[in-house]
Structure 1
Amino acid sequence: MSAGEDESLSPETQQAKINEVRKSLWPLSGKLAIYCSDGCIARYLRARNWNTKKATKMLKASLKWRSEYMPEEIRWDDVAAEAETGKIYRSAYKDKHGRPVLVMRPRCQNTKSIKGQIKYLVYCMENAILNLGEEQEQMVWLIDFHGFSLSNVSLKVTKETAHVLQNHYPERLGVAILYDAPKIFEPFWKMAKPFLEPKTANKVKFVYSDDPNTNKIMDELFDMGMVESAFSGKDGEDFDINKYATRMRKDDEKLPFVWRTHHSLISPPPVSTAANPTSSDSDPEALDMIEEKAVISSDEDKDTRYY
């Protein structure tokens, strides 16, 4: 949990708020029920400063998005064309806190399809979540700006990226390190920053290879012997799409098994807190929409996983 508002709430109060949000969502089944674990609901609550009404509204929007976009169904072969230059990839190492690391290399952008780029980003997010360390909920982004030009980025893609990450993957980013960002990036950053919530923007750290002070951030977070040379680490191996594809396909094979392992975690809210459909805290229209989309047969459940 993050410092500040979490520390001001007792564990009992936090659990009560989680139960209140769950009460407003029930009944759910299949993938959506699995998604709404206590940890998931807590992340939405933290993203909305533990305001249950705001967190519920945010989570309902995510459930609608997940039921339509089906991010857990994306597989490597669906996004391989976007991935072939290594513009985003999950490193084989984790940081010192056990968080998976997504490396991003803007200079390696290889398509102009906003839809395709977002789909690959979502796949990478889902894969990083699959590979979270024990007791970890967040990941690290390492952004390599070597060879960067403004033609490598799009404000539209950046806006859509911010929307998806902040609204559907709240509290998943631990820190984003922008490494050796050039002066020409500053105007773009000024335009892009307003798309970010202050809490997210505060997680962005600028690190420069010629600045010992900022490099301390890297030393504190990583075993530099495992980090790519682009970030002043000692790993000089180039990205190999064939090796990476093999890794991702192996991860894809884990998804059904991971879901089955955690299937027993699905449980209804306590009977004493059963949802009241006439409650002013509920949004009947939105809840009806979620219930309709949440009815998933046991045959479809075979391909789901715990989130």
Structure 2
Amino acid sequence: MRKFNHFDEFYLISVLVLEVKEKLEKEHYDLPVGENGRDDEDMILWYLKDRRFSVEEAIAKLTKAIRWRQEFGVADLSEDTVKSIAKTGKAYVHDFLDVNDRPVLLVVASKHLPDFDVFYYYYPKRLGEVLFVEAPFVFQPIWQLTKPLLKSYASMVKFCSAETVRKEYFTEETLPISFRD
């Protein structure tokens, strides 16, 4: 049995990315190109990894995501858009990073509406590095219904107590006001 080295792995991944690009160009030529488009190699790689390197599954999910981005007008989102949503009090970006240097989005579940999705699509390349803190902790019953629909994305969500948030994610100086005693 042949052992693969890093060059072999890089080569195989590059071949898969190219295969996805070519199929998207041939089968979905109407999709936009450029950043977050059908030829965005970083995004293609992300979807390949997400779909465990299944080219067909990555294409299906990527096509759907690009079309959604187009329909929703993600390219037109701006910092002002995010700020206007933040003014509603449904969610806000914390002024400080957490102890792992990740941006923090605080979501007030009692005020939550689908507008929250704007943060995900405004910062898609950093999603894996964002700490999502949900308070108050009434969202878990809804989460049990939603979790199966999210598949691998569900692993990005962690529920923890306010005490855990205080001790593990922030310093005393950076702790969000809503988590102070």
Q: What is the TM-score with the length of structure 2 in the denominator?
A: 0.73
36, 43, 67: which one pairs with 1:64?
A: 67
Inter-CA distance 129–202: structure 2 relative to 1 (3 Å threshold):
closer
Instruction: Verify the 8 A CA contact 2:82 2:119 in the aligned structure 1.
Output: no
RMSD, aligned α-carbons: 3.3
Q: Which digits, 9 at most, give the CA deviation of each residue in 1:114-148, with x for residues without a partner?
A: xxx43x32432244348x4xxx8532211111xxx
Equivalent AA in structure 1 for residue 12 of structure 2: T
Please tell me whether residue 55 in structure 1 is matched to residue 58 in structure 2: yes
Inter-CA distance 21–84: structure 2 relative to 1 (3 Å threshold):
same
146, 153, 156: which one pairs with 1:192?
A: 146
CA distance in 2, matches of 1:121, 1:38: 27
Equivalent AA in structure 2 for residue 141 of structure 1: F
CA distance in 2, matches of 1:201, 1:138: 14
Runs of at least 5 residues in structure 1 that lack an aligned partner in the other structure: 1-6, 110-116, 146-180, 234-307
- Residue correspondence of structure 1 range 228-239 to structure 2 within 5 A: 228-232=176-180
Flag the structure with higher helix content. 2
Inter-CA distance 57–127: structure 2 relative to 1 (3 Å threshold):
closer
Residue equivalent to 2:47: 44
CA distance in 2, matches of 1:221, 1:12: 38
Which structure: larger Rg?
Answer: 1
Instruction: Verify the 8 A CA contact 2:77 2:122 in the aligned structure 1.
Output: no
CA distance in 1, matches of 2:58, 2:31: 21
Residue equivalent to 1:139: 130
Q: What is the TM-score with the length of structure 1 in the denominator?
A: 0.46
Please tell me whether residue 121 in structure 1 is matched to residue 116 in structure 2: yes
CA distance in 1, matches of 2:40, 2:166: 33
**Residue 207 of structure 1 aligns to a residue in which SS?**
coil
Structure with the bigger RCO (C-alpha within 8 Å, sep 6+) is 1
Residue equivalent to 2:15: 16
1:208 Cα shift?
1.6
Residue equivalent to 2:33: 32
**Residue 86 of structure 1 aligns to a residue in which SS?**
coil
CA distance in 2, matches of 1:18, 1:108: 40
1:87 Cα shift?
1.2
Count of matched residue pairs: 170
Equivalent AA in structure 2 for residue 21 of structure 1: V
Q: Which digits, 9 at most, give the CA deviation of each residue in 1:142-182, with x for residues without a partner?
A: 1111xxxxxxxxxxxxxxxxxxxxxxxxxxxxxxxxxxx25
Give identity over the alignment, percent. Answer: 21
CA distance in 2, matches of 1:106, 1:49: 32
CA distance in 2, matches of 1:201, 1:230: 25
CA distance in 2, matches of 1:190, 1:21: 33
Q: Which digits, 9 at most, give the CA deviation of each residue in 1:231-251, with x for residues without a partner?
A: 349xxxxxxxxxxxxxxxxxx
Runs of at least 5 residues in structure 2 that lack an aligned partner in the other structure: 1-5
Equivalent AA in structure 1 for residue 144 of structure 2: K
Equivalent AA in structure 2 for residue 125 of structure 1: Y
1:29 Cα shift?
9.1
**Residue 143 of structure 1 aligns to a residue in which SS?**
strand
Instruction: Verify the 8 A CA contact 1:102 1:128 in the aligned structure 2.
Output: no
